[in-house]
Amino acid sequence: MTLISLVKTLNLTVRCCKEKLDCNVTGGYIGDLLSDVIANSDKGNVWITRQSHQNIVAVAELKEHAGIILVRGREPEEETLEKAVKAGIPILSTALPGFEVAGRIYELIKR
Amino acid sequence: MVPTLKYKNTFPVEGGNFDNAGVISLQIKNIIRDMGFPDDIQRRAAIAIYESELNIISYARAGNINVRIAPHLICIDAADEGPGIEDIDRAMKDGYSTANDRIREMGFGAGMGLSNIKKCSDKFEIISETNKGTHLKILIDIN
Amino acid sequence: MIVVNTLKITNHQTLAISGFNPFYRIKSCSICGKTEVKLSKLIDILDATIMSGEEHLDMDVNTAFSADLMSDVLAFAKPKSILLTGLTNPQVVRTASILDASAIVIVRGKIPPAETVELAKELNIPIVLTKYILFETSGRLFMNGMVGCVEKIGDS
Ligand SMILES: Nc1ncnc2c1ncn2[C@@H]1O[C@H](COP(=O)(O)OP(=O)(O)OP(=O)(O)O)[C@@H](O)[C@H]1O
Ligand SMILES: [Mg+2]
């Protein structure tokens, strides 16, 4: 499954790196604690979180995530967007809660 | 006219000590429940106290939470000695937080606390002086 | 009683709203809007174990909230929802109790410290442990009809 197909199916708002959406998504990871995400997420995961401060970009870059989805209406801070553009990490956002976003992506992957 | 109080108590809160975070809030929640107030009021008061308690623990040296309950009103004052809040508008914004990594790893520091308090109260006021402290005044109407 | 062309489970009615709203492809009761998932079923779905609150196995759990940030939970979780989290400290139990959450599911195979379990027993809140990550946990429950909490507190 590609990130672009996720964006379309879940109707996510693309906040940056539009040109990087054709990458493959290997799975999802929900977490708001950076140390947990660093320790346990995998390469190619799409990271679902409520954290919007700039440190999330470094984590996603380190773990080679496909992208970050900010949930429940959380908007990225300006510094976060700047860093994400530099690092080439797509940031997406949605009003849906994390549980639903994870559920819907899980369903897509399982199908 | 001063309404007759059904309950009044002051709880000290120690800065930096997360072990008992939430204890005051749960204690008050039980008291409010036993007084027969509706679930929604119990929850709103408990959330407002919990977030106030956590901010004192997270950011201040020490503080006190004073709770007064009248038949139609719950009044919560959370006052601390600490750094104060420099820019209150910014602190009120969802997502703004200066919480350090230790606090974040415990699951706090979403930057939602003050706005949660506001949502739970019918009247909410923040009085703060830099390098002195912060005083939150919270009113919950029972009708 | 309102009869829709549905399958009946217990005293609720199932209504498949597939295709109606892409976000809520779930089976739910046409009268009260709720799905029927018992805590015992949730434990099956998650290959989980229960550490406190065994007497609540028969309880209905319908809405779920996935988060690691307590004030997010305080802001958005509905009373009676279950809290899915990677946190294990006693504050999680106090947060759940303050919100009237019905159970806590601790993910990723983490074992909570004794004080957390003690407190959960004292406050009568079930703690369930699963080895799955929060994503898998949410996904499995979502596919079994559980829903997220949508509104904010004070939005009533
Ligand atoms: N009592 C206080 N003394 C000094 N600064 C405070 C105090 N309360 C809040 N602040 C400042 O305001 C910011 C926002 O507070 P708020 O409670 O809304 O969020 P938070 O404590 O950062 O995270 P959360 O409450 O969601 O866990 C804090 O990060 C801190 O900088
Ligand atoms: Mg706070």
Q: Which chains does B contact via 3+ CB–CB distances below 8 A?
A: A, C
Question: Is the shortest distance between the CB of C71 and ligand 1 below 6 Å?
Answer: yes
Q: How confident is the model at residue B48 (pLDDT cuts 50, 70, 90)?
A: very high
Say how far apart CA A76 and CA B142 lie, in whole Å: 37
Chains within contact range of chain C (3+ C-beta pairs < 8 Å): A, B
Q: Say yes or no for a CB contact (<8 Å) between B107 and A33.
A: yes
Q: Which CATH number fits domain C35-148: 3.90.1150.10, 1.10.10.10, 3.40.1390.20, 3.40.190.290?
A: 3.40.1390.20
- CATH code of A40's domain: 3.40.1390.20
Ligand 1 pocket test, pick from B58, B101, B131 with the greatest ligand atom count within 8 Å of Cβ, gives B58
Nearest to C98 among B50, B107, B108 (CB): B50
Straight-line distance from the first to the last Cα atom of chain C, in angstroms, rounded to the nearest whole number: 27
Structure tokens at B36: 């027969």
| pLDDT computed for residue C2 by the predictor | 36
SS3 A1: coil
Specify the residue with its C-alpha closest to ligand 1, atom 17: B113
Contact residues, chain A, for C130 at CB < 8 Å: none
CB B92 within 8 A of CB B119: no
- Rounded CA-CA distance B141/B40 in Å is 11
Are the C-beta atoms of B74 and B32 separated by less than 8 Å? yes
**Which pTM does this prediction carry?**
0.88
B62: pLDDT confidence band, cut at 50, 70 and 90? Answer: very high
Q: In this predicted model, which residue has the larger pLDDT, B134 or C71?
A: B134
Please tell me which residue, B76 or C11, carries the higher pLDDT value.
B76
Q: Using one digit for the tens of pLDDT, what is the confidence trace for A52-97?
A: 989 999 999 999 999 999 999 999 999 999 999 999 999 999 999 9
- Tell me the average pLDDT across B13-38: 95
Examine the pLDDT at C33 and tell me if it is beyond 70: no
pLDDT at C143 exceeding the cut of 50 = yes
Cβ–Cβ < 8 Å for C31, C114: no
pLDDT at C16 over 90: no
Interchain proximity B105–A52, CB inside 8 Å: no
Q: How far is CA B108 from CA A12, B6, B67, C89, C132, in A?
A: 27, 33, 24, 12, 23
Total count of domains within chain A: 1
Specify the CATH number for the domain of residue B58: 3.30.565.10
CA distance B141 to C2: 39
pLDDT at C123 over 80: yes
CB-closest option in B95, B97, B104 to A33: B104
List the beta bridge partners of residue A69: A48, A92
List alpha helices for B36-140, DSSP H.
39-59, 88-92, 101-105, 113-120
pLDDT interval class at B46 (50, 70, 90): very high
d(CA C152, CA B119): 9
Confidence label for C149 from pLDDT (cuts 50, 70 and 90): confident
What's the CA gap between B124 and B78, in Å, rounded? 11
Mean pLDDT for B12-34 is 95
pLDDT in the model for residue C152: 52
Q: What is the pLDDT of residue C32?
A: 54
Token pair 């406050």 in the structure block, residue: C123
Q: Which residue, A43, A41, A44, is CA-closest to A6?
A: A44
Rounded CA gap, B20 and A53, in Å?
A: 28
Res B74: pLDDT: 97
Asked if B95 and A75 come within 8 Å (Cβ–Cβ), the reply is yes
Tokens of A45: 């995961």
Does residue C14 surpass a pLDDT of 90?
Answer: no
Helix axis angle for B39-59 and C90-98, nearest 10°, is: 150
Q: Quote the ipTM score.
A: 0.97
> Cα–Cα distance between C130 and C110 in angstroms, integer?
8
- Distances C62 to A47, A50, B107, C31, C34 between C-alpha atoms, Å: 25, 22, 24, 15, 7
| B7, part of any domain | no
- What is the reported pLDDT for B143? 81
Give the residue numbers spanning the domain of A31: 3-110
C32 secondary structure, DSSP code: T
- By the CB criterion, residues less than 5 angstroms from ion ligand 2 are B 55, 113
Question: Is residue B1 domain-resident?
Answer: no
B58 CB less than 6 Å from ligand 1? yes
Task: List CB contacts of C114: < 8 A, sequence separation 6 or more.
Answer: none
Which pLDDT score, from 0 to 100, does residue B45 have? Answer: 97
Average pLDDT across chain C, whole number: 80
End-to-end CA distance of chain A: 11
Q: In what order do the strands lie in the sheet containing C12-16? A: C8-9, C12-16, C27-29
- Write out the residue range of the structural domain in which residue B122 sits: 15-141
Tally of CB atoms within 10 A around C151: 9
Q: How many domains does chain B have?
A: 1
- Is B5 within a domain? no
Q: What is the mean pLDDT of chain A?
A: 96
Q: How far from chain centre, in Å, is Cα C100?
A: 12
Q: Do C148 and A50 touch (CB under 8 A)?
A: no
User: Domain extents for chain C?
Assistant: 35-148
**What is the mean pLDDT of the segment spanning A34-50?**
96
Q: Model confidence over C37-85: pLDDT tens digits?
A: 899 999 999 999 999 999 999 999 989 999 999 989 999 888 899 999 9
Nearest of C69, C63, C103, C64 to residue C86 by alpha carbon:
C69
Q: Would you call C153 and B23 a contact, using CB atoms and an 8 Å cutoff?
A: no
The pLDDT of residue C11: 30
Q: Helix A3-10 vs helix A98-110: angle between axes, to the nearest 10 degrees?
A: 120
Averaged pLDDT, C31-35 = 57
Residue recorded with tokens 């320790």 = A39
CA distance C83 to C101: 7
